[in-house]
Chains A and B, each alone.
Chain A
Amino acid sequence: MSADSAASGAASAAEAADREFAVVLARLGIDMPPDLAPGVLAGYRSLRAQMELLRDGERGGTDV
Chain B
Amino acid sequence: MSEPDAAPDTVASRPGGLAALSVAEAGALLRAGRLTSVDLVEHALSRIEAHDATLHAFVLVLREQALRRARQADSDLRAGLDRGPLHGIPYALKDIFAAEGVPTTNQSWLTVSDTAAEDSAVEGRLRAGGAVLLGKLATYEFALGGPSRDLPFPAAVNPWNPEHIPSGSSSGAGVAVAAGFLRVAFGSDTAGSIRGPAFHCGVVGLKPTYGGVSGHGATPLSHTMDHFGPLGWTVADTAAAFRVVAGPDARDPRTRDAPVGEGPDRLTGDVRGLRVAYSTAWYASDPATRPEIVAGIERALTHLDRLGAIVEECELPPYETLNACGRIILAAEGFAVHERDLRGFPRSFGRYTYQKLMPGAGIGASDLLRALAVRGRLVEDFRHRVFAEHDVLITACGQATASRFDDFPTDWPPPRLANDMQTIPFAVTGHPAMSLPIGFAGDGLPIGLQLVGREFGEANLFRAGAAIEAEFGRRDVRPPAFGTGPDATRRRSDPDAEAADVRR
Q: Is B362 a contact of A53 with CB atoms below 8 Å?
A: no
Give the docked Cα–Cα distance between A33 and B346 (Å). Answer: 8
Could you tell me which residues of chain B, from 70 to 101, have a CB within 8 Å of some CB in chain A?
none
B318 contact set on A, CB distance < 8 A = 62-64
B24 in contact (CB, < 8 A)? no
Cβ 8 A contact of A47, one of B321, B331, B411: B331
**Given the known A-B contacts A20-B362, A44-B362, are A54 and B374 also in contact in the complex, defined by CB atoms under 8 Å?**
yes
B378 contact set on A, CB distance < 8 A = 64
Could you tell me which residues of chain A, from 11 to 59, have a CB within 8 Å of some CB in chain B?
20-21, 24-25, 28-33, 36, 38-40, 42-44, 46-48, 50-51, 53-55, 57-58
Give the docked Cα–Cα distance between A31 and B318 (Å). Answer: 37
- Give the segment of B3-11, B133-141, B295-303, B349-357 that binds chain A: B349-357
A32 CB to nearest chain B CB (Å): 7
* A21, A51, A55, A62 pick with most chain B CB within 10 angstroms: A51
B413 in contact (CB, < 8 A)? yes
Give the docked Cα–Cα distance between A62 and B324 (Å). Answer: 12
**Given the known A-B contacts A20-B362, A36-B346, are A47 and B412 also in contact in the complex, defined by CB atoms under 8 Å?**
no
Give the docked Cα–Cα distance between A15 and B321 (Å). Answer: 25
A17 CB to nearest chain B CB (Å): 8
List the A residue with the shortest CB-CB distance to B330.
Answer: A47
B370 contact set on A, CB distance < 8 A = 51, 54-55, 58
Q: Is B328 a contact of A43 with CB atoms below 8 Å?
A: no
Q: Is B363 a contact of A47 with CB atoms below 8 Å?
A: yes
B342 in contact (CB, < 8 A)? yes
**Given the known A-B contacts A57-B374, A64-B317, are A38 and B361 also in contact in the complex, defined by CB atoms under 8 Å?**
no
B320 in contact (CB, < 8 A)? yes
A39 contact set on B, CB distance < 8 A = 351-352, 354-355, 411-413
B386 CB to nearest chain A CB (Å): 16
Q: Is B347 a contact of A33 with CB atoms below 8 Å?
A: yes
B411 contact set on A, CB distance < 8 A = 36, 38-39
Interface contact tally, CB-CB below 8 A: 95
**Given the known A-B contacts A30-B343, A47-B331, A54-B371, are A40 and B358 also in contact in the complex, defined by CB atoms under 8 Å?**
yes
Q: Is A21 a contact of B362 with CB atoms below 8 Å?
A: yes
B367 in contact (CB, < 8 A)? yes
Q: Is A40 a contact of B355 with CB atoms below 8 Å?
A: yes
| Dominant SS among interface residues on chain B | helix
| Dominant SS among interface residues on chain A | helix
Q: Is B361 a contact of A43 with CB atoms below 8 Å?
A: no
Q: Is B412 a contact of A54 with CB atoms below 8 Å?
A: no
Give the docked Cα–Cα distance between A38 and B354 (Å). Answer: 11
Chain B, 363-406, contact with A by CB distance < 8 Å: what is the 0/1 string?
Answer: 10001001100100110000000000000000000000000000
A43 contact set on B, CB distance < 8 A = 355-356, 358-359, 412-413
Q: Is A40 a contact of B359 with CB atoms below 8 Å?
A: yes
**Tally of B interface residues using CB under 8 Å:** 34
Q: Could you say which interface size class chain A belongs to?
A: 20 to 34
Give the docked Cα–Cα distance between A52 and B355 (Å). Answer: 21
A1 CB to nearest chain B CB (Å): 21
Could you tell me which residues of chain B, from 325 to 357, have a CB within 8 Å of some CB in chain A?
325, 327-328, 331, 342-343, 346-347, 351-352, 354-356
Q: Is B412 a contact of A64 with CB atoms below 8 Å?
A: no
B323 in contact (CB, < 8 A)? yes
Q: Is A48 a contact of B377 with CB atoms below 8 Å?
A: no
B377 contact set on A, CB distance < 8 A = 64
Give the docked Cα–Cα distance between A44 and B328 (Å). Answer: 10
Give the docked Cα–Cα distance between A36 and B370 (Å). Answer: 29
A58 contact set on B, CB distance < 8 A = 370
Give the docked Cα–Cα distance between A57 and B412 (Å). Answer: 29
Cβ 8 A contact of B367, one of A28, A31, A32, A54: A54
List the A residue with the shortest CB-CB distance to B325.
Answer: A54
B317 contact set on A, CB distance < 8 A = 63-64
**Given the known A-B contacts A21-B362, A30-B361, are A53 and B324 also in contact in the complex, defined by CB atoms under 8 Å?**
yes
Q: Is B361 a contact of A51 with CB atoms below 8 Å?
A: no
Give the docked Cα–Cα distance between A51 and B355 (Å). Answer: 18
Q: Is B367 a contact of A24 with CB atoms below 8 Å?
A: no
Q: Is A54 a contact of B321 with CB atoms below 8 Å?
A: yes
B363 contact set on A, CB distance < 8 A = 47, 51
Q: Is B342 a contact of A30 with CB atoms below 8 Å?
A: yes
* B359, B361, B378 pick with most chain A CB within 10 angstroms: B359
A28 contact set on B, CB distance < 8 A = 361
Query: Which residues of B does A touch, CB under 8 Å?
Result: 317-318, 320-321, 323-325, 327-328, 331, 342-343, 346-347, 351-352, 354-356, 358-363, 367, 370-371, 374, 377-378, 411-413
Query: Which residues of A does B touch, CB under 8 Å?
Result: 20-21, 24-25, 28-33, 36, 38-40, 42-44, 46-48, 50-51, 53-55, 57-58, 62-64
Closest 9 CB pairs of A and B: A39-B355, A43-B359, A50-B324, A44-B359, A39-B411, A39-B412, A40-B358, A51-B367, A53-B324
15 contacts between A and B (CB under 8 A): A25-B361, A30-B342, A32-B358, A36-B358, A43-B413, A46-B327, A46-B359, A47-B328, A48-B362, A50-B328, A51-B328, A51-B363, A55-B367, A58-B370, A63-B318
